[in-house]
Structure 1
Amino acid sequence: MKDRMRGGLVKALLLLIVLLPVGAFLHYNLPGYDVVRVVGTEIRRVDTEPTTGENPQRTRDVYVIQAVDPDGGDVRVYYNEDTGWGFPFYFKFDSANVQARAQELAEDRATALVTHYGWRVPMFSWFPNAVSVERVEPGYTPIPWFNIVFLVILALVIGWIWWSIARWRRRRAAAH
């Protein structure tokens, strides 16, 4: 009896070790939706490489969108960078347009839906990347349709793989 409990505990622990990074990966890369009041925008110069003897320091401009949660007043800050063809595959090439829209909304102090990916980690100065900004009515509640469809399809694929492996094992056991 104890061996079965230990075996179940080991399986649960292994499942957790696999699911935790997969869940974190999905949470980081799938789009998030925040309803905020845009209060400001700016352009920051960011160092990309440290200065070495022969190489001058390389910098780039990063758009920043500052916002406030209209209900709780929590501050939200988003970077606004192109993803280009790289991962995650948002194919975002219009950060200047997104910034102009955010600036317009900031001047109006309007409520906006910010679609983003990534996490805000103050200790490392990490900011989520805004993919789009659009005006919405106060009190708007977004429904994450893309995430719902993606996760349902992912669950179906995993279920199909699980079922195929179980069927293969039953056939193999029946053959012996």
Structure 2
Amino acid sequence: MYYVKVTLGVVLGVFVFLFLDYALPSKDTVRITNTYNRLTEIGRNAIFYASDDTGTVQNASGQRDIRFIETVRPSEKVFVYRNEDTGLIWPPYFKYDSSNLHAEATNLRSDSRDPIWVSITSYGWRIPLFSIYPNAISVKQVAGPSDAPLNWPAMLILILLGVLLFLLWRMWNQFRERTIDPAAKRMGAAVDRADARADAAMDRVSGEFTEAREGFTGWLNTWKGKPRK
């Protein structure tokens, strides 16, 4: 049972970590090299794209016209973002300005000779094998490639989650101390009393059986010494 609990705890921890890593906002300092629209096929990876109720329309072939932002990081590694509205359901970024964001990103395009560095806030993962892109939320110009704005939204969310988990832990401990532990003690005491009564009953039965056996043996012994007629 111990190993089952440990395994379940590890699986739950990994799931929570992946969920937070995907959903929480992240900030990257990059240089925008290109912005464009592309018909993108949405298939098994649809969970990593915006839902249909955000205004994005798919054609009969399952293709969607999606805006993309191509960037280069200070390490010269390229990175691509998608630019879609999120709607009101999930994730709760309430983004409806993808057109404005596309215009801002286009206005901040630059090359390596005269770079313009920006900080892009986004959520999600970049997995090239499955054509998965993080969704850009906002773009803001920064002073240079070493300028990394503080990711205070993610920090605030993590702090609130930590406080919530602490409160839930305290409530569970109080509930356990006031309800579960006393009930468990009463149940244990009842089981102990039942065991004691069962042991006492077994002792009485064993004693009565012993007395009956001794009485029967004594009665048999009275017949051993009698002479025959």
* TM bucket, shorter chain: 0.7 to 0.9
Number of aligned positions between the proteins:
164
Amino acid at match of 1:137: A
> 1:105-160: CA deviations, max 9, x gaps?
11464101000000000110100000111111112112111111111111111111
Structure 1 residue matching 2:109: 3-state secondary structure: helix
Question: 1:147 and 1:73 mapped to 2: Cα distance?
Answer: 26
The one of 128, 136, 143 equivalent to 2:134 is 128
Question: 1:45 and 1:109 mapped to 2: Cα distance?
Answer: 29
Q: Does 1:87 align with 2:81?
A: no
Question: 1:154 and 1:32 mapped to 2: Cα distance?
Answer: 17
Question: 2:67 and 2:60 mapped to 1: Cα distance?
Answer: 23
Structure 2 residue matching 1:126: 3-state secondary structure: coil
Amino acid at match of 1:92: K
Confirm or deny: 8 A CA contact 2:32 2:108 kept in the other structure: yes
Aligned 1:121-160 pairs, distance under 5 A:
121-138=127-144, 139-160=146-167
Q: Does 1:39 align with 2:45?
A: no
Aligned 1:1-176 pairs, distance under 5 A:
7=2, 9-48=3-42, 56-70=60-74, 72-107=75-110, 109-138=115-144, 139-172=146-179, 173-174=181-182, 176=186
Confirm or deny: 8 A CA contact 1:63 1:80 kept in the other structure: yes
Question: 1:146 and 1:170 mapped to 2: Cα distance?
Answer: 36
Which protein is richer in strand relative to its size? 1
Question: 1:140 and 1:131 mapped to 2: Cα distance?
Answer: 19
Confirm or deny: 8 A CA contact 1:39 1:109 kept in the other structure: no
Which protein is richer in helix relative to its size? 2
**Identity score, percent:** 37
When normalised by structure 1's length, the TM-score is 0.85
Structure 1 residue matching 2:68: 3-state secondary structure: strand
Question: 1:87 and 1:30 mapped to 2: Cα distance?
Answer: 12
Question: 1:11 and 1:91 mapped to 2: Cα distance?
Answer: 38
Question: 1:74 and 1:33 mapped to 2: Cα distance?
Answer: 16
* Larger-Rg structure: 2
Question: 1:56 and 1:125 mapped to 2: Cα distance?
Answer: 20
Question: 1:128 and 1:87 mapped to 2: Cα distance?
Answer: 14
Once the 2 structures are TM-superposed, how far is the Cα of residue 59 of structure 1 from its aligned partner? 3.5
Amino acid at match of 1:133: V
Amino acid at match of 2:122: H
